[in-house]
Amino acid sequence: MSRTLILLRHGQAAPAAGAPDHDRPLTEHGAAQAEAAGEWIAAHGWQVGAALCSTAVRTRETLRAVAVAARLE
């Protein structure tokens, strides 16, 4: 059995605008990028056994959108 490691960067995040970097959410474009990544994972038929994710808002939003689009939930 071979294993595949997927490294994924978060989607485009909103400008800091005075908020802490950790709290920056995805933009609409970033959410669409995350959804497209999930669709790509699903199209390749990959199964995800584990995910490591930062606690930053934008990374959590990315992971959630990828999971929904890839039908991992």
Q: How confident is the model at residue 53 (pLDDT cuts 50, 70, 90)?
A: very high
Q: How confident is the model at residue 25 (pLDDT cuts 50, 70, 90)?
A: very high
Global pTM value:
0.90
Domain ranges in the chain? Answer: 25-69
Q: What backbone phi and psi angles, to 5 degrees, belong to 6?
A: -110, 120
Q: What backbone phi and psi angles, to 5 degrees, belong to 39?
A: -65, -35
The rounded distance, in Å, linking the Cα atoms of 71 and 59 is 18
